[in-house]
Amino acid sequence: MTSSAPAAPAPAAGESSALAKDRLGIPAVLFFILSAMAPMTVAAGVVTTMYAITGLSAIGAAFVAVALVLALFAVGYVAMARRITNAGALYAYLARGLGRPVGVGGALIAALAYNALQVGLYGMFGPTLSGYLADKFGFELSWWVCSLAAWLLVAVMGVLRVDLNGRVLGVLLSAEVAVLLVLTVAGLADPASGLPLTSLSPGGLFGHAGVGALLVTALLGYVGFEAVAVFSEEARVPRRTVPVAIYTSLALIGAAYALSSWAMSVHYGDDQVAAVAAQQGPGMLFTMATPAVAEIATVLFMTSLFAAMISFHNAVARYMFALGRERVLPGVLGRTERRTGAPRVASITQSAIGLGVIVLYALAGWDPMVRLFFWLGTTGAFGVLCLLAATSIAVIRFFARDPRGESAWRRLVAPALAALALLAMVWAGLANYATLLGVPPGSTEAWALPAAFAVAAVVGIVYGAWLRSARPEVYQGIGLGAQALADLEERP
């Protein structure tokens, strides 16, 4: 005879077990998603790195190709979102499509990946702000001091009302996109030689050994779009908000990346853009415009990083909240502040992780730009890629049991095509992981970092299987969300 799971502790005074409903409209959700994608950071950092490392000119085409793959993925993702409203998002979809143990494995991968993405941003922000203060004002501050300042602001924002976070992101993102548009127009208005379409030509992607790594790197610029469902419990009319936000974000960000890539290629010339990228790095984007615009863009590059920190912090906190609410993780994580509706304990836990990482890197003297921002950011994005591939398969399995009125295109064809494309990208990422990190083949980092996701998956699946026999009530609630869990707890 199996014992039932212990009841979750009752909320303390001032606490609740639910997120705030109807707080986020479509614009606010879009601000969270687009801020996580950090368009200025990607245009200045990722695009220039792609030009420098690959030497290929078809960077814009790579972003378009990845956007099309993700649009295919979104077809099945949106179909699932209409049936499942859960802050756990991909975790809930995996649990409902591929089984509860797989869902728990996916949840641990998600927690690891999004934490890596969030804390990795401190490795870029700290040195960038430190260098800016030294150049402009003569203040000499260590990178970790600047990172800790950003960490403190993000920690405070994380326990405030989610709609307040959305307003802050809205201001930062609007300024960021406006200046990125000015830079793009300035680059196109001052061409090196005409307006060649080489950067946007799909033909430039074929026949090159580095195209696999190029596509995986391009995917990094879109990481965050899939988190739209994380905010579904706090959105107004989630059945409408999720699809509008996901397709709008893909269209806007895909256009921004493709056009900024093309503008750099036009401004510096197809035959010189890679060399300029290797020499100037992110500065090549800023110098396409006037010195005044370049100065503003440099500041917005830092606010772009800060906005992404806030967005990923909120996403991580909600994943941990969903797991705590379902008692897969300690139930205390599933508590929210009654006044603000924020997942307070989960948010504080994520802040503690960020603080620990910053302190560790500072004490160890590790390079924050390479070993924190680049390595952890790349690794976090690879974990999300694995989750997207698995979710496409989960969509097919979910609707195979009951089509629920969905067309064959939504429940089978599009998810199958997306799964094939995403699995190919996973394979390309594994085969080129040393290239992605910029380390020699066979390096410990090249196998240890992606292997961490395999370990998380195995641990989660084993733990999920253990819950089935040891804590059956918890097991039955995996991936079901707030209302379903309430129904389970009401049963005699």
Q: Can you list the domains of the chain with their CATH numbers?
A: 15-383+417-490 (1.20.1740.10)
pLDDT tens column, 332-356? 888 877 666 678 888 899 999 999 9
Residue 224, by phi and psi: left (phi above 0), alpha (psi -120 to 50) or beta?
A: left
CB distance 150 to 122 below 8 Å: yes
Tokens of 317: 């906190």
pLDDT at residue 15 greater than cutoff 60: no
Q: What is the DSSP letter of 336?
A: E
pLDDT at 378: 85
Helices (H) and strands (E) in the chain, counts: 22, 2
Q: What is the DSSP letter of 20?
A: P
Tokens of 20: 């705030």
Q: Give the pLDDT mean for 137-155.
A: 93
pLDDT for the residue 147: 96
Q: Is the pLDDT of residue 68 over 80?
A: yes
- Which has the closest alpha carbon to 258: 480, 66, 3? 66
pLDDT tens figures, 262-296: 999 999 998 888 899 888 888 899 889 888 888 88
Question: Please, which pLDDT band fits residue 219 given cuts at 50, 70 and 90?
Answer: confident
Whose structure tokens read 């150049």? 135
Which residue in this structure is represented by tokens 């601000």?
A: 31
Instruction: Assign 5 a pLDDT band (cuts: 50, 70, 90).
Output: very low
Tell me the chain's radius of gyration from C-alpha atoms: 22
Mean pLDDT over residues 192-200, rounded?
A: 83
Judged by DSSP in three states, 339 sits in: coil
- pLDDT at residue 330, rounded to an integer: 86
Residue 474: its pLDDT value, please? 86
Residue 7: is its pLDDT beyond 60? no
- Per the model's pLDDT, the better-predicted residue between 415 and 483 turns out to be 415
Looking at the chain, the whole-number percentage of residues with pLDDT higher than 70 is: 86
**Average pLDDT across the chain, whole number:** 83
Q: What confidence score (pLDDT) does residue 10 get?
A: 47
Q: Are 297 and 289 in contact (CB under 8 A)?
A: yes
Determine the average pLDDT of the residues in 380-407.
Answer: 92
Distance of CA 201 to the CA centre of its chain: 27
CA 78 from centre of chain:
17
Judged against a pLDDT cut of 90, whether residue 134 lies above it is answered with: yes
pLDDT at 228 over 80: no
Residue 329, φ and ψ in degrees, nearest 5 = -105, 170
pLDDT category at 56 given cuts 50, 70, 90 is confident
The predicted structure's pLDDT at residue 18: 47
Question: For the chain, how many residues are written?
Answer: 492
**Going by C-beta distance under 8 Å and a sequence separation of 6 or more, which residues neighbour residue 197?**
262
Q: Do 463 and 104 meet the contact criterion of CB atoms below 8 Å apart?
A: yes
pLDDT at position 2: 39
Angle CA(78)–CA(467)–CA(93) in degrees, nearest 5?
Answer: 5
Backbone angles phi, psi at 112, to 5 degrees: -65, -45
The mean pLDDT of 89-104, rounded to a whole number, is: 90
**Most confident stretch, 49-63, 122-136, 211-225:** 122-136
- The helix (H) or strand (E) run that includes residue 245 is helix 238-268
